[in-house]
Amino acid sequence: MAKPSPVSPLAPKQVPVLPPIKGVTLATAEAGIKYKGRTDVMAMIFDQPAAVAGVFTKSKCPSAPVDLCRAHLPKGRAKILIVNSGNANAFTGKKGIAATKLTAEIAATAANCAIDEVYLSSTGVIGEPLDATKFEGHIEQMVKTAEPDAWYQSAQAIMTTDTFAKVATQTASIDGKNYTINGMSKGAGMIAPDMATMLAYVVTDAPVSAAVLQDYLSASTKTTFNAVTVDGDTSTSDTLLAFATGAEEFTNPDDEKLAAFKAAFHAVLHDLAMQIIRDGEGIRKVMRVEVEGATSQDAAKKIAMSIANSPLVKTAIAGEDANWGRVVMAVGKAGEPADRDRLQIRFGDIIVARDGEREEGYSEEKCAAYMKNDEIVIGVDIGLGTERFTAWGCDLTKEYVEINGDYRS
């Protein structure tokens, strides 16, 4: 039987208190889907249908709840969100489709809304049928008892191998009025979002349309959730949804009045993505990979992710070994334009290799001391162009193997 993992040593020292947002309430329940003695279902209920936007996994084997959300998204309105942990309802065939249908029907009845105003997410074990009858009674009760300040409890309910609940909040001004942006996420393994098992939900009372939300969500995802990797594995269930409860006064994403809101919205997504990487399974160190001098941004990203995903680089970081040869390997295997004789590699501010060979005067002792830090920066200058990309990863430890070796136990 797997034992609960201790809280990540890189967990935030302080947890923000998320203020209530007008028009939304939350609740949790113990449905006994997999876990005993803990909440495993979260409901988010909107007083009036909210504007909604979303991005999802690019996995060719998506879960049934992902299919449902994609089907409902064109309407652009949401009345209720139901999220369960312990079972991903993925690769569950006709039974999975039936489970989402039943869950959506239960939720629609409880929230008194249309089926296509229901959004679902499931996270946990893949391939196990989800018994949706376990939601009966619970969803109706959650709708009745939902509270405006149950953000942290809701983030706890959707955890799987996470060691801490992930929440973030920002305030932004639009045309002289202040609005709140709250967010929660979960994820610690199977993280290489390509839109990790990653779920995230952001809610605001700002008076923006679904089109504005979708524009900002798609743009920010590229440099936040799509720039982090724990293990290089993209989940079947990745879902990122954003909701706005205010009247749709602003419908143009390029409206200058929305500049502060756009920045705060991005800040919430970035905060949540960084919490996911800081809770990577078995993590002891965060790796920030800064690639510059690439021929295109796409090339810069592929090289950065090649480094961040390399098991050899990750184990070197875990062992506090400045093995820059493994970085060279990861650059070369990325398949993007690179020139061995123009390459420069650094750990932090310490240049270790330049122009195709080890840096003259390189100090192993100085670099070894730097590698003891909790956050390691690997800088790579390709030397062929002007494009750059930053990715975040983590080390690979024995604990990661233990956590995933026991995951279904």
4 in any annotated domain: no
Check residue 191 and give its pLDDT: 47
2 — pLDDT class (breaks 50, 70, 90):
very low
Check residue 282 and give its pLDDT: 72
The C-alpha angle 57, 286, 374, rounded to 5 degrees, equals 165
Check residue 398 and give its pLDDT: 78
Cα 59 to the center of its chain, rounded Å: 15
186 known ligand binder:
yes
d(C-alpha 6, C-alpha 29), whole Å: 24
Q: Any alpha helices (H) in 26-92, and if so which ranges?
A: 64-72
Q: Partners of 179 in the beta sheet? A: 172
149 in any annotated domain: yes
160 known ligand binder:
yes
15 in any annotated domain: no
Check residue 195 and give its pLDDT: 47
Residues 226 and 350 in one domain: no
196 — pLDDT class (breaks 50, 70, 90):
very low
Full-model pTM: 0.88
Statement: residue 401 has pLDDT above 80: no
Burial class (CB in 10 A: 0-12, 13-18, 19+), 250: buried
d(C-alpha 289, C-alpha 349), whole Å: 13
Check residue 230 and give its pLDDT: 67
CATH of the domain at 144: 3.60.70.12
d(C-alpha 385, C-alpha 366), whole Å: 30
Residues 269 and 188 in one domain: yes
Which one-letter amino acid corresponds to residue 261? F
406 — pLDDT class (breaks 50, 70, 90):
low
- As a whole number, mean pLDDT of residues 215-235 equals 81
Tokens 């209530």 belong to: 20
121 known ligand binder:
no
Q: Which two tokens stand for residue 341?
A: 């004789």
Residues 60 and 198 in one domain: yes
Domain stop point among 278, 296, 327: 278
Which residue is catalytic, options 28, 39, 161, 197? Answer: 197
Residues 118 and 174 in one domain: yes
Q: Which two tokens stand for residue 80?
A: 């209720």
Residues 162 and 307 in one domain: no
d(C-alpha 95, C-alpha 303), whole Å: 40
Q: Which two tokens stand for residue 213?
A: 């939300």
Do 158 and 42 touch, CB atoms closer than 8 A? yes
Higher local confidence (pLDDT), 176 or 9: 176
11 in any annotated domain: no
Catalytic annotation present for 236: no
Residues 296 and 267 in one domain: no
d(C-alpha 282, C-alpha 118), whole Å: 35
- As a whole number, mean pLDDT of residues 251-272 equals 97
260 in any annotated domain: yes
Residues 270 and 292 in one domain: no
Do 330 and 313 touch, CB atoms closer than 8 A? yes
Residues 102 and 39 in one domain: yes
226 known ligand binder:
no
Give tens-digit pLDDT for 337-388.
999 999 999 999 999 999 988 998 888 899 999 999 999 999 999 999 999 9
Domain stop point among 230, 260, 278: 278
**Residue (of 29, 64, 61, 221) closest to 137 by Cα position:** 29
Q: Which residues of 117-132 are buried (b: 16+ CB within 10 A; e: fewer)?
A: bbbbbbbbbbebebeb
d(C-alpha 324, C-alpha 225), whole Å: 26
Burial class (CB in 10 A: 0-12, 13-18, 19+), 191: buried
Residues 192 and 297 in one domain: no
- As a whole number, mean pLDDT of residues 320-331 equals 93
Residues 70 and 199 in one domain: yes
Please tell me whether residue 176 adopts helix, strand or coil conformation.
coil
404 known ligand binder:
yes
150 in any annotated domain: yes
1 — pLDDT class (breaks 50, 70, 90):
very low
Domain stop point among 230, 249, 278: 278
The tally of CA atoms less than 13 A away on the side-chain side of residue 145 is 10
292 known ligand binder:
no
- As a whole number, mean pLDDT of residues 141-156 equals 97
Cα-based distances in Å from 54 to 75, 275, 401: 12, 20, 32
Residues 232 and 314 in one domain: no
14 in any annotated domain: no
CATH of the domain at 346: 3.10.20.340
**How many distinct structural domains can be found in the chain?**
2
What's the first-to-final CA gap in the chain, in angstroms?
5
Range of the domain at 344: 286-405
155 in any annotated domain: yes
Which one-letter amino acid corresponds to residue 83? V
Mean pLDDT is lowest, of 184-188, 199-203, 307-311, 355-359, for: 184-188
Residues 321 and 378 in one domain: yes
